[in-house]
């Protein structure tokens, strides 16, 4: 009996020792997993972190690291890995100090792996809401808007980001902002390469922007914005018929006929096709808030073209021009000038037309060719190049960009004499 | 799907989204875009993409595939050129792979009654050898076809002395010497030609009377009394400085093609003032016929604001159009020219959005029955044709979207355009010759013509699918002129092509409504541009404005046709440019009438005008 008791004590001690060892190991698993992850020893890191999470199933840091391992480990089936990673990240509540990072990571997975831009945007925006100082997800959210054909809505994101980065990072941001403003379709070529929409080795291939927008629509067909972005690509390519066919298909998505971006694209297409009555009907669906470039632009267009209410059109055009891309929208300025002329306000019309012409000249391809050549200096070391951008934005009357480029110039190291 | 997140880590500093400035040449994105064209590569790519999506989207209810409903009057047009004796294919001298721009423009035609026998004859320009042409070449000459009572056309070029062998472009018909016989100006790529009608069925070359000057690339032209002295002056639009030194070939989607206006310098237009002694003096600048940049292709002479001082409108290719007027100008003011270009402030120089459009052809009519003369312009593929609605007081608005002009024309590249009332319902309809310009390597290239019905409720309907075989056949249409060659009250058309013979479209449309035709002439026996003619029958009343030239490079029958109800007495009232008002209550329908101020109308055919 004694022997049995002694035996049990020994076993108990051993079990406790084993348990202690396991707990201690698991406790160390977090640090070990992180170390192994850094060394790209993904399988080993996975083991360590699994043990740690067994003990601490709600530990945000562990969950983040394990999600990272899963997304990196290409030996695991893609779909399963992403599913598991998303499930782990979901366990981190918004209220957790790591909540913002978790939402941001979910955003990244949702877009760059699942190609669902609208869901990804929601994650990013949540991350930004939870931690306004988290610049990485501001940046990615801005890029997401470029990549999903909606860069005109990124102004707040950009300036929010700009204000939060160091002086050293700002020159490059300003360069990317120019591309986002004027060349959204090709603003992020490396993303297209990494996501498989562009092959640098193929001289002739399908348009990457088309492929990307189509993939967005196919991956997330329940989102009206994806239908609209693809339709707008056709619309701007001059293929109004296909644009309208895509929009008609998109209208079957619940909520599409009340979605501002979808409505903006639909109105543009209906307008081109002369279906002004239908455009007016859809405009009635515009949801609150009744504000922003698109809302006022289309209110103005319909007042101008469908109702011949020139006073109303001028008011709406003025409001639309206050929002980006209004300041460079010389076509709407020209429409406003025409309305003024019809109201016999010739002097005002001439002034607006003059301004429209000034902006139009700034949108000339040769002007942008020169600017892009200036920007091709990756390190933006040449004062002369930066001055070109500064002057360009001065003509456009874009004070913040002017200030931004002035800071870039101020940040440049002074040239030593003789250089 | 790629598994990328491991590669997409990092902060801003790692710059995963490296911008590729200078990587491509795509223009800035809308709404700030400057050009309707994408980069050449983009076009090719997008076409492939379009096909892919179209395949996918076949189940979608695409309105672009919607079949229009048939019109209440079926248009019937039969090409009878060969059968009636008009057999000419414009000689372009196009050399494969050369892409010398003049090759792609073709030439115009003129319907006019040169021998005053009451039947419209047809003059057709022709091309010639572009490099070192032989001045005595009789192989590639222009032709005039005499109309034998609407039954047959006979080539009388040699007999009439009209065998010009220059590289012909446009024509202008007008009686510049006031002898009652229409004279002929021919614009060319190279030296132009002026022929005086001898009145005996022959013409004589009086080109030296225009004075000596270096030839330019002359295009559209019109005879117009710009100084109101009672004789006709000549306005000639010039296009661009294209010669063997400036010639270049452009690439579209990696394939060569003809360069557009952006690649060449514009040329100034000419005004030849009739000195009244058989000589002309070039004085465009003196008269104010100068614009910022004019790649002129077509012109019209019309009174847009009814001040009895006609205005001149010039359609420029990818440049602002001109509207030269005397309205509101004090000629006594020092330095003031008699004319001024007011197109920018009138709103008819560029599209409503402020875009330059590639204006080719012009047609005028009061489309909405508001009593004002509106402007219709044909434009480039994937632009739109433009309808400038005349608001009065020298103000226009681009009304292309509301009227559906934009969507109907979006897939076409239009050249010659004529307004006429095919169904005699009082709403001016449109016929348009289409065809692309970039070259045979490009898609699209040939295009069918378009027939558009004015529904008289402010909208246009494309009724091309109901217009018969000719309208189903793609071609490279260019010039278009209208003339009722059989005097049956249905307007017929000639269309020149780059790739096939001139078509003579016999209008055999069956109408139950009646018609009346009028040939208004001033005491000087010239066209009374600016006159307003009101034709009233039963409860219907139509106003027509007299104007001249238009279409593309071509001249149409001067006689005006009006549709009438099946029954009822006809009243014609004319406000002449000199202020005189005439009223005629006894003109019988189904006839052409010659009307002159203060004179008893004469039925055409009963006596030569």
What per-residue confidence (pLDDT) applies to A315? 98
Which residue in B11, B13, B19, B4 sits closest to A110, CA to CA? B4
d(CA B141, CA A266): 53
Q: Which residues contact B473 (CB under 8 A, 6 or more apart)?
A: B448
pTM of the model: 0.88
Residue-wise pLDDT for B229-249, tens only, equals: 999 999 999 999 999 999 999
> What is the predicted ipTM?
0.82
Percent of chain B past pLDDT 90, that is, above it, reads 80
Mean pLDDT of the B360-379 span: 97
d(CA A265, CA A286): 12
Which residue in A334, A371, A387, A331 sits closest to A182, CA to CA? A371
DSSP secondary structure string for all residues of A308-323: --HHHHHHHHHHHHTS
Asked whether the beta carbons of residue B45 and residue A206 sit closer than 8 angstroms, the reply is yes
In A, which residues are within 8 Å of B64 by CB distance?
240-242, 244-245
Instruction: Tell me which residues of chain B, numbers 59 to 118, contact chain A at a CB-CB cutoff of 8 Å.
Output: 60-65
Lowest-confidence region among A365-374, B56-65, B497-506: B56-65
d(CA B156, CA B160): 6
What per-residue confidence (pLDDT) applies to A90? 95
The band of A17, judged by pLDDT with boundaries at 50, 70 and 90, is: confident
In A, which residues are within 8 Å of B395 by CB distance?
341-342
Residue-wise pLDDT for A186-223, tens only, equals: 888 888 998 889 888 887 778 899 999 999 999 999 99
In B, which residues are within 8 Å of A274 by CB distance?
401-408, 459
State the pairing for strand pair B492-497/B386-390. unpaired
Instruction: Tell me which residues of chain B, numbers 393 to 412, contact chain A at a CB-CB cutoff of 8 Å.
Output: 393, 395, 397-398, 401-408, 410
Contact of B352 with chain A, judged by CB distance below 8 Å, is answered with yes
* Mean pLDDT over the full length of chain A: 92
d(CA B483, CA B121): 9
Q: Are A279 and A270 in contact (CB under 8 A)?
A: yes
Strand order in the sheet with B450-454: B414-420, B429-434, B450-454, B460-462
Mean pLDDT of the A333-347 span: 95
Asked whether the beta carbons of residue A113 and residue B3 sit closer than 8 angstroms, the reply is yes
Asked whether the beta carbons of residue A237 and residue B38 sit closer than 8 angstroms, the reply is yes
Smallest CA–CA separation between A399 and chain B, in Å?
A: 18
Residue B61's closest chain A neighbor by CA? A245
Instruction: Assess whether pLDDT exceeds 70 at residue B41.
Output: no
Instruction: Assess whether pLDDT exceeds 50 at residue B10.
Output: no
d(CA A274, CA B410): 11
In A, which residues are within 8 Å of B52 by CB distance?
206, 214
Smallest CA–CA separation between B398 and chain A, in Å?
A: 9
Instruction: Assess whether pLDDT exceeds 50 at residue A75.
Output: yes
What per-residue confidence (pLDDT) applies to B67? 59
Lowest-confidence region among A6-10, A122-126, B198-202: A6-10
Q: Are A120 and A108 in contact (CB under 8 A)?
A: yes
- Count other C-beta atoms under 10 Å from residue A318's C-beta: 16
Q: Which residue has the tokens 């920018």?
A: B344
Smallest CA–CA separation between B262 and chain A, in Å?
A: 12
Smallest CA–CA separation between B351 and chain A, in Å?
A: 9
Residue A357's closest chain B neighbor by CA? B354
Residue-wise pLDDT for B287-332, tens only, equals: 999 987 889 999 999 999 999 999 999 999 999 999 999 988 887 8
- Interface probe for A, chosen from B2, B10, B31, B458 (most Cβ of A below 10 Å), is B31
In A, which residues are within 8 Å of B405 by CB distance?
274
Contact of B354 with chain A, judged by CB distance below 8 Å, is answered with yes
A396's enclosing H/E stretch is helix A383-396
d(CA B451, CA B430): 6
What per-residue confidence (pLDDT) applies to A378? 62
What per-residue confidence (pLDDT) applies to B20? 45
Smallest CA–CA separation between A175 and chain B, in Å?
A: 8
* Mean pLDDT over the full length of chain B: 88
A66's enclosing H/E stretch is helix A60-72
The band of A384, judged by pLDDT with boundaries at 50, 70 and 90, is: confident
Residue-wise pLDDT for B472-519, tens only, equals: 999 999 999 999 999 999 999 999 999 999 999 999 999 999 999 999
Smallest Cβ–Cβ distance between B401 and the set A169, A210, A271 belongs to A271
Asked whether the beta carbons of residue A248 and residue B60 sit closer than 8 angstroms, the reply is yes
Instruction: Assess whether pLDDT exceeds 60 at residue A379.
Output: yes
What per-residue confidence (pLDDT) applies to B562? 97
The band of B9, judged by pLDDT with boundaries at 50, 70 and 90, is: very low
In B, which residues are within 8 Å of A196 by CB distance?
1-2
Instruction: Assess whether pLDDT exceeds 80 at residue A236.
Output: yes
Q: Which residue has the tokens 């990756």?
A: A378
The 3-state DSSP class for residue B256 equals strand
Mean pLDDT of the B149-175 span: 97
Q: Which residues contact B203 (CB under 8 A, 6 or more apart)?
A: B114, B160, B161, B162, B183, B184, B195, B196, B197
Smallest Cβ–Cβ distance between A306 and the set B2, B3, B402 belongs to B402
In A, which residues are within 8 Å of B5 by CB distance?
71-72, 108-109, 112-113
Residue B350's closest chain A neighbor by CA? A334
Asked whether the beta carbons of residue B8 and residue A108 sit closer than 8 angstroms, the reply is yes
The 3-state DSSP class for residue B169 equals strand
Instruction: Assess whether pLDDT exceeds 50 at residue B23.
Output: no
Residue B491 dihedral angles phi and psi, to the nearest 5°: -75, 130
Asked whether the beta carbons of residue B29 and residue A185 sit closer than 8 angstroms, the reply is yes
The band of A381, judged by pLDDT with boundaries at 50, 70 and 90, is: low
Asked whether the beta carbons of residue B5 and residue A109 sit closer than 8 angstroms, the reply is yes
């Amino acid at each position: 009996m004694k022997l049995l008791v002694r035996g049990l004590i020994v076993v108990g001690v051993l079990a406790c020792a084993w348990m202690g060892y396991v707990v201690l190991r698991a406790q160390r698993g977090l640090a070990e997993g992180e170390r192994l992850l850094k060394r790209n020893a993904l399988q080993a890191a996975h083991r360590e972190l699994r043990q740690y999470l067994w003990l601490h199933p709600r530990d945000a840091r562990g969950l983040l690291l394990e999600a990272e391992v899963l997304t990196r480990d290409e030996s695991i089936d893609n779909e399963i890995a992403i599913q598991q990673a998303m499930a782990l990240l979901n366990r981190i509540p918004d209220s957790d100090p790591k909540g913002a990072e978790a939402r941001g990571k979910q955003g990244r997975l949702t877009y760059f792996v699942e190609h669902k831009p609208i869901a990804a945007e929601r994650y990013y925006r949540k991350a930004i809401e939870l931690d306004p100082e988290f610049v990485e997800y501001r940046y990615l959210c801005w890029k997401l808007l470029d990549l999903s054909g909606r860069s005109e809505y990124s102004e707040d994101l950009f300036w929010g980001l700009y204000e939060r980065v160091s002086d050293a990072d700002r020159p490059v941001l300003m360069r990317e902002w120019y591309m986002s403003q004027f060349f959204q379709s090709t603003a992020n070529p490396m993303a297209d390469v990494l996501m498989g929409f562009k092959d640098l080795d193929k001289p002739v291939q399908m348009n990457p922007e088309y492929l990307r927008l189509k993939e967005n629509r196919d991956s997330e067909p329940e989102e009206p914005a994806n239908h609209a972005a693809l339709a707008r690509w056709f619309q701007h390519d001059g293929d109004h018929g296909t644009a309208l066919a895509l929009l008609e298909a998109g209208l079957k998505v619940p909520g599409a006929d009340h979605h501002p971006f979808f409505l903006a694209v639909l109105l543009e297409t209906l307008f081109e096709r002369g279906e002004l009555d239908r455009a007016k009907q859809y405009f009635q669906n515009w949801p609150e808030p009744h504000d922003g470039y698109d809302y006022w632009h289309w209110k103005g267009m319909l007042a101008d073209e469908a109702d011949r209410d020139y006073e109303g059109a001028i008011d709406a055009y003025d409001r639309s021009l206050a929002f980006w891309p209004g300041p460079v929208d010389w076509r709407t300025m020209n429409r406003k000038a025409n309305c003024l002329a019809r109201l016999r306000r010739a002097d005002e019309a001439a002034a607006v037309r003059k301004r429209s012409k000034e902006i139009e000249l700034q949108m000339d391809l040769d002007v942008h060719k020169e600017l892009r050549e200036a920007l091709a200096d990756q390190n933006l070391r040449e004062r002369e190049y930066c001055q070109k951008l500064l002057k360009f934005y001065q003509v456009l009357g874009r004070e913040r960009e002017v200030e931004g480029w002035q800071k870039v110039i101020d940040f440049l190291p002074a040239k030593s004499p003789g250089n | 799907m790629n598994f990328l997140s491991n590669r997409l880590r990092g902060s801003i500093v790692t710059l995963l989204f490296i911008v590729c400035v200078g990587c491509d040449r795509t223009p800035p994105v809308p709404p700030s875009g400057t050009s309707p064209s994408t980069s050449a590569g983009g076009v090719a790519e997008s076409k492939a993409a379009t096909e892919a999506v179209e395949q996918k989207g076949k189940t979608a209810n695409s309105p672009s595939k919607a079949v229009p409903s048939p019109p209440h009057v079926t248009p019937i047009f039969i090409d009878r050129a060969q059968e009636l004796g008009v057999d000419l294919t414009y000689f372009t001298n196009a050399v494969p792979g050369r892409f010398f721009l003049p090759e792609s423009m073709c030439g115009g035609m003129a319907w006019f009654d040169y021998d005053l026998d009451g039947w419209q004859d047809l003059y057709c320009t022709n091309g010639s050898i572009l490099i070192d042409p032989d001045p005595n070449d009789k192989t590639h000459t222009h032709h005039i076809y005499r109309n034998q009572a609407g039954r047959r056309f006979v080539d009388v070029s040699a007999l009439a002395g009209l065998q010009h062998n220059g590289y012909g472009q446009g024509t202008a018909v007008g009686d510049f010497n006031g002898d009652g016989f229409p004279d002929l100006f021919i614009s060319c790529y190279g030296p132009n030609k002026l022929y005086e009608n001898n009145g005996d069925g022959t013409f004589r070359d009086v080109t030296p009377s225009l004075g000596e000057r270096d030839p330019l690339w002359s295009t559209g032209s019109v005879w117009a009394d710009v100084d109101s002295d009672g004789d006709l002056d000549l306005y000639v639009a010039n296009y661009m400085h294209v010669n063997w030194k400036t010639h270049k070939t452009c690439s579209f989607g990696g394939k060569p093609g003809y360069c557009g206006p952006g690649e060449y310098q514009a040329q100034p237009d000419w005004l030849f003032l009739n000195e009244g002694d058989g000589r002309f003096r070039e004085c465009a600048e003196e008269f104010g016929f100068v614009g910022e940049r004019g790649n002129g292709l077509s012109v019209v002479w019309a009174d847009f604001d009814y001040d009895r001082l006609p205005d001149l409108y010039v359609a420029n290719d990818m440049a602002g159009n001109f509207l030269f007027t005397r309205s509101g100008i004090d000629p006594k003011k020092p330095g003031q020219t008699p004319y001024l270009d007011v197109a920018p402030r009138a709103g008819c120089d560029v599209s409503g959005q402020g875009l330059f459009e590639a204006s080719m052809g012009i047609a005028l009519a009061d489309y909405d029955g508001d009593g004002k003369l509106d402007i219709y312009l044909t434009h480039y593929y994937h632009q739109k044709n433009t309808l400038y609605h005349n608001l009065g007081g020298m103000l226009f608005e681009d009304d292309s979207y509301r009227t559906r002009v934009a969507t109907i024309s979006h897939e076409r590249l239009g050249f010659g355009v004529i307004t006429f009332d095919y169904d005699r319902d009082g709403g001016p309809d449109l016929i348009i010759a289409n065809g692309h310009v970039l070259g045979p390597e490009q898609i699209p290239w040939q295009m069918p013509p378009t027939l558009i019905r004015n529904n008289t409720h402010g909208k246009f309907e494309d009724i091309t699918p109901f217009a018969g075989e000719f309208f189903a056949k793609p071609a490279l249409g260019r010039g278009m002129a209208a003339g009722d060659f059989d005097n049956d009250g249905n307007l017929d058309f000639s269309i020149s092509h780059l790739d096939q013979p001139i078509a003579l479209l016999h209008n055999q449309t069956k109408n139950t409504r009646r018609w009346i035709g009028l040939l208004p002439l001033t005491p000087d026996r010239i066209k009374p541009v600016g006159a307003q003619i009101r034709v009233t029958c039963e409860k219907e009343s139509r106003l027509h404005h007299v104007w001249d030239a238009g279409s593309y490079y071509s001249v149409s029958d001067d006689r005006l046709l009006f549709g009438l109800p099946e029954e009822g007495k006809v009243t014609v009232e004319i406000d002449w440019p000199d202020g005189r008002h005439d009223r005629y209550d006894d003109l019988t329908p189904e006839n052409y009438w010659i009307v002159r101020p203060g004179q008893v109308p004469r039925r055409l055919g009963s006596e030569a005008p």
